[in-house]
Amino acid sequence: MPTEVFNWKICGVGGYGLQVASSMLGKTFLRGGLNVQTYDEFPSVIKGGPATSQVAASVAPIRSPRQAVQLLVCLNEQSIRDHVRELVPGGWLLYDPDAVPKPSVKRTDLTLFPAPLTRITQEVKAEKIMRNVVSIGATLGLLGFSTDLVNQQLRQQYGQKGEEVVQENLKAVEAGATYATEHAPAKFPFRLKVGRRRQRRMLISGNDALGLGALAAGVRFYAGYPMTPSTSLLFFMVKHGPDFGVVVRQLPDEIAVINAAIGASFAGVRSMVATSGGGFSLMVESLGLAAMTETPLVVVNAQRPGPATGLPTWTEQGDLRFVMHAAPGDFPRVVVAPGDVTECFQAMSLAFNIADRYQTPVVVLTDKFLGESSFTTDAMRTTDWRVDRGPVVTRGVISGEHGMFPRYADTPSGVSPRPFPGTPGLPYMANSDEHDEFGLSTEEASVRLVQHAKRMRKLTDLAWDLPEPERYGPTKADLTLLSWGSTKGPALDALELLAAEGIRINLIHFFVLHPFPAATTIKRLAGVKRLVTVEGNASGQLAGLIRQHTGLAIEDQILRYDGRPFEAVELAAAVRERLGIKRRAHA
Amino acid sequence: MPKPLPLTERSFRSRPPNWCPGCGDFGIWTALKRALVTLQLKPDQLTIVFGIGCSGNMVNVVRAYGFHGLHGRTLPVAEGIRLANHKLPVIVVGGDGDGLGEGIGHFIHAIRANPNVTYILHDNQVYGLTKGEHSPTAPKGFVSTTAPTGVIEEPVNPIGLALAAGASFVSRGFAGDLDSLETLLVAAIRHQGLALVDVLQPCVTFNHHNTYLWYYQRVYQLSNVQHDPSKLDLAWRRAQEPMDEKIPVGIFFQTKRPTLESQLPPLQGGRTLLEQQPVRPVDISAVVAQYQ
């Protein structure tokens, strides 16, 4: 039976190399011409604690993880108990009989495949940890995939570590494949059609896509402090930054992180920081500093469920209102929330250009699901990109009795030309106190009014300079979903599932959340039959924004805040229920 | 083209100061301007990062490139500026409340990193702008508006703290001795690495204990006694001298330590990060290939 989506899930405890395995299998499927989506669940501990990693492969695009599993690989007994219910009818459970001599599985529709992963590692003289690699071999054997694909992948992944490491892994893969071919208890019922490898495809996580975008946009200074789920972006920058001439600093706290980035940006280089909600909380006062001194800054907030320490390794979209309002006083800022890895990449060009053009902070809002899961996309390119540093001057006219440069001169757009410190002849002060055009402190009401209005005026041009909400699916639909950020993937997958059943729904997706695209929203929502918001938070933050800016109250909200991303199948079911449609019997 | 004026103290003046008459900040301000003239550093050839407080209000009386940031956060800003442009001298001006209260974490960590920054710490035992609360350097028993029966805590010893953190230049100056302070600031700015200049600075409005007279009776120059600033153990001993008896000023300790800037590969090619800032999108195809 050909499978639309083949979902492979490996389960064990943290430290078993589950993510390594899924990334290896994912790349193998990608190289086999398939669309791939990987998703990890792991506890906030280094070793131990239940962890899983899954790889979904499909000929059609796949943008979100699926709960239903075709092949479950369990490396310990607990994981069988926890996950066997996720198998589809007729699903296969592959387990290591050396770790689980007698698995207790009540379901009778499943095929149990005891594959002695531990023994196979011993036979090929590999460490026990390499059970993960053997299991990939077994999976490829069951699917009838050639191990050549994994061979190329191993060379790419481990080539730098030397031929020995490549060969060790390769042996483990081949031993697993041979065992599966020879000992499978039945014919494996799931078939994946291998396509031709498509050259211009890649499999990448949201955080890596942000890093790639930042490199392409010419970031020169990156500072970070470890905080899940932003840390993999710090790892990316540490790994690749130096090759691109980027100074990457792990600093002692998030306050130092953002202030160092503000200093570097003030001195003229493109600077960014990344953190999660807790770290963002520490950065709050300094966000206002960037705005007050009109210093460009890009801040990534990879959300996780809060408040406080919350659920460190899980996902949520609960920080939208927080980042929109963080820091005392009013100031112009931009909040964007990429919906997929391509948008992550593109968002960095936009964020740096907007930050430079408007000399104010830009917040890029992602989350654990988007940041740390991998998705298939076309290879990222910068063909239509440009670097816009905004109004920077190297010459100018000094004025005032003191002969300083009017860096904060009142302008129609609210943006004033800036010299970088060290520019001959144009000294000025960047000042967190309210200041005059030279940056000198003032408490004069008239000057305050001019400067505050000048800063806030940037929002007028900004409103025209940002992408508008996009509509996906048919123009006319029986129901319209509204989403922002990472919910785009599950929502689009739900749209496709429903379209296959002839159910016409569409999606309006928000990439820019602040300044809120009120006019477009009103236009897009006019004449819509039925509206449902889909958000990963408890209070319906987008729905609140829409009501605030359009007067439209959307009562029907699908909210999720259990730390897990939305699931397309569940979303589709929720839509069917709303439309009073019964699911047709499974084909 | 008019001939450029010679560099003088006046070159660094913007607005007239509004510190209380007699404030120790006047002395530090004057000594700093003189040191810059001595070093022939022009207003557009350096950046001064100011903290929040009376000391930070120097932002309004100095003509130069400057950044007046948030309370306690001067040093990270200074590090960021140095990393973006390591050809630009950076001087930090901040108070004891700013740097040793709110910012004490940055103080330790900046010293560990050792960026080439001169840190002028205005040390007057009180918060002036907010009306005379005690600062972290106020001695135990010090009576302030918020400690009417005397401060309970032991004071922070910035010299000892800097030595313990591994500072490469640790010094103390006195705002009432302009010539010595200027000499000290010149040495500090010339030093390669983070140079701490803890400046004893009488607050004539809120601190009636540590007055000019009180300091004049106690301050002595380390250069006038047998002190070798290359010896950490001697510096330690001098740092522990009780402030209410004799107060050493001058360079406690100076050593060569690699600066932060000298250890970051992107800064080793002779060009600053700013000079390397791309103006066109960067080719990332080599990294993209790793995801294919």
pLDDT at residue number A583: 73
Element housing A39 (H / E): strand A35-41
Beta strands in chain B (DSSP E): 47-50, 65-68, 90-95, 117-123, 126-127, 133-134, 169-174, 195-200, 219-221, 247-254
pLDDT at residue number A161: 87
Nearest to A289 among B63, B70, B264 (CB): B70
Nearest to A440 among B52, B60, B105 (CB): B60
| Complex-level ipTM beyond the 0.95 threshold | yes
pLDDT at residue number B233: 97
Amino acid letter, A175: A
Encoded tokens for A251? 């600093």
Q: Would the CB atoms of A385 and B290 count as touching at under 8 Å?
A: no
CB A61 within 8 A of CB A187: no
Nearest to A433 among B68, B266, B292 (CB): B68
pLDDT at residue number A162: 87
CATH for A203-378, options being 3.30.499.10, 3.40.366.10, 3.40.50.261, 3.40.50.970: 3.40.50.970
Q: Would the CB atoms of A431 and B288 count as touching at under 8 Å?
A: no
pLDDT at residue number A3: 67
**Class of domain A470-579 as given by CATH:** alpha beta
pLDDT at residue number A159: 82
Residue B274, classed as helix, strand or coil, is helix
Contacts of B64 in chain A (CB under 8 A): 427
Kind of pairing between the strands at A297-303 and A271-275 = parallel
Average pLDDT over residues B265-270: 96
Please tell me which residue of chain B has the smallest CA distance to A239: B287
Nearest to B85 among A268, A293, A438 (CB): A268
Q: Would the CB atoms of B68 and A430 count as touching at under 8 Å?
A: yes
Average pLDDT, chain B: 97
Q: Would the CB atoms of B288 and A402 count as touching at under 8 Å?
A: no
Question: What letter would DSSP give residue A546?
Answer: H
Whether B22 has a pLDDT exceeding 70, the answer reads yes
Q: Would the CB atoms of A218 and B15 count as touching at under 8 Å?
A: no
pLDDT at residue number B1: 57
Residues 130-189, chain B: which have Cβ within 8 Å of A?
Answer: none
**A438-475 burial, b for 16+ CB within 10 Å, e for fewer?**
bbbbbeeeebeebbeebbebbbebbeebbeebeebbee
Contacts of B77 in chain A (CB under 8 A): 259-260, 262-263, 266
- Burial bucket for residue A102 (CB in 10 Å: 0-12, 13-18, 19+): exposed
Q: Would the CB atoms of B274 and A424 count as touching at under 8 Å?
A: no
Is A221 in the B-facing interface, judged by CB distances under 8 Å? yes
Q: How far apart are CA A459 and CA B40, in angstroms?
A: 43
Q: Would the CB atoms of A263 and B81 count as touching at under 8 Å?
A: yes
Residues 6+ apart with CB under 8 A from A360: A290, A291, A294, A296, A297, A331, A332, A333, A334, A455, A458
Distance between B45 CA and the closest CA of chain A, angstroms = 5
Q: How far apart are CA A379 and CA A177, in angstroms?
A: 30
Please tell me which residue of chain A has the smallest CA distance to B11: A402
Average pLDDT over residues A204-210: 98
Domain boundaries, chain A: 5-199, 203-378, 391-466, 470-579
pLDDT digits (tens, 9 = 90+) for A570-583: 999 999 999 999 87
pLDDT at residue number A1: 45
Average pLDDT, chain A: 95
Contacts of B114 in chain A (CB under 8 A): none
Cα–Cα distance list, B137 to A136, A283, B111, B161, B172 (Å):
63, 27, 19, 12, 14
CB pairs A-B closer than 8 Å: 216
Whether A258 has a pLDDT exceeding 60, the answer reads yes
Residue B114, classed as helix, strand or coil, is coil
Is A321 in the B-facing interface, judged by CB distances under 8 Å? no
pLDDT category at A2 given cuts 50, 70, 90 is low
Is B279 in the A-facing interface, judged by CB distances under 8 Å? yes
Residues 499-518, chain A: which have Cβ within 8 Å of B?
Answer: none
Residues 383-422, chain A: which have Cβ within 8 Å of B?
Answer: 385-387, 389, 402-404, 420-422
pLDDT digits (tens, 9 = 90+) for B210-222: 999 999 999 999 9
pLDDT at residue number A158: 85
Whether A454 has a pLDDT exceeding 70, the answer reads yes
Whether A426 has a pLDDT exceeding 70, the answer reads yes
pLDDT at residue number B204: 96
Contacts of A235 in chain B (CB under 8 A): none
pLDDT digits (tens, 9 = 90+) for B85-106: 999 999 999 999 999 999 999 9
pLDDT digits (tens, 9 = 90+) for A523-567: 999 999 999 999 999 999 999 999 999 999 999 999 999 999 999
CB A531 within 8 A of CB A480: yes
Is B14 in the A-facing interface, judged by CB distances under 8 Å? yes
Nearest to B88 among A204, A267, A428 (CB): A267
Of the residues A385, A389, A432, the best mutation for testing chain B's interface (the one with the most B CB atoms within 10 Å of its CB) is A432
Distance between B87 CA and the closest CA of chain A, angstroms = 9
Whether A23 has a pLDDT exceeding 80, the answer reads yes
Is A426 in the B-facing interface, judged by CB distances under 8 Å? yes
Distance between A11 CA and the closest CA of chain B, angstroms = 24
pLDDT at residue number B2: 63
pLDDT at residue number A587: 40
DSSP H helices, A115-201, are: 117-123, 131-143, 148-158, 163-183
pLDDT digits (tens, 9 = 90+) for B122-171: 999 999 999 999 999 999 999 999 999 999 999 999 999 999 999 999 99
Average pLDDT over residues B263-291: 97
Note the CATH number of domain A5-199.
3.40.920.10
Q: Would the CB atoms of B84 and A269 count as touching at under 8 Å?
A: yes
The candidate with the shortest Cα–Cα distance to B79, out of A248, A245, A256, A282, is A256
Q: Would the CB atoms of B59 and A255 count as touching at under 8 Å?
A: no
Whether A584 has a pLDDT exceeding 70, the answer reads no
Q: Would the CB atoms of A249 and B280 count as touching at under 8 Å?
A: no
pLDDT at residue number A260: 98
pLDDT category at A193 given cuts 50, 70, 90 is confident
- CA A72, A195, A502: angle at the middle one, nearest 5? 75
The candidate with the shortest Cα–Cα distance to A318, out of A371, A273, A278, is A278
CB B181 within 8 A of CB B199: yes
pLDDT digits (tens, 9 = 90+) for A265-285: 999 999 999 999 999 999 999
Encoded tokens for B3? 């001939």
CATH for B9-289, options being 3.40.50.300, 3.40.980.10, 3.60.150.10, 3.40.50.970: 3.40.50.970
Distance between A562 CA and the closest CA of chain B, angstroms = 31
**B191-207 burial, b for 16+ CB within 10 Å, e for fewer?**
bebbbbbbbbbbbbbbb
Whether A214 has a pLDDT exceeding 70, the answer reads yes
Whether A198 has a pLDDT exceeding 80, the answer reads no
The domains spanning A5-199 and A203-378 adopt the same CATH topology:
no
Whether A585 has a pLDDT exceeding 60, the answer reads no
Q: Tokens 């940056």 identify what position?
A: A439
pLDDT digits (tens, 9 = 90+) for A67-91: 999 999 999 999 999 999 999 999 9
Nearest to B65 among A240, A260, A427 (CB): A427
What percent of chain B lies above the pLDDT cut of 70? 99
Q: How far apart are CA A487 and CA A535, in angstroms?
A: 7
Whether A428 has a pLDDT exceeding 60, the answer reads yes
Average pLDDT over residues A349-356: 98
Q: Would the CB atoms of B277 and A269 count as touching at under 8 Å?
A: yes
Average pLDDT over residues A226-254: 98
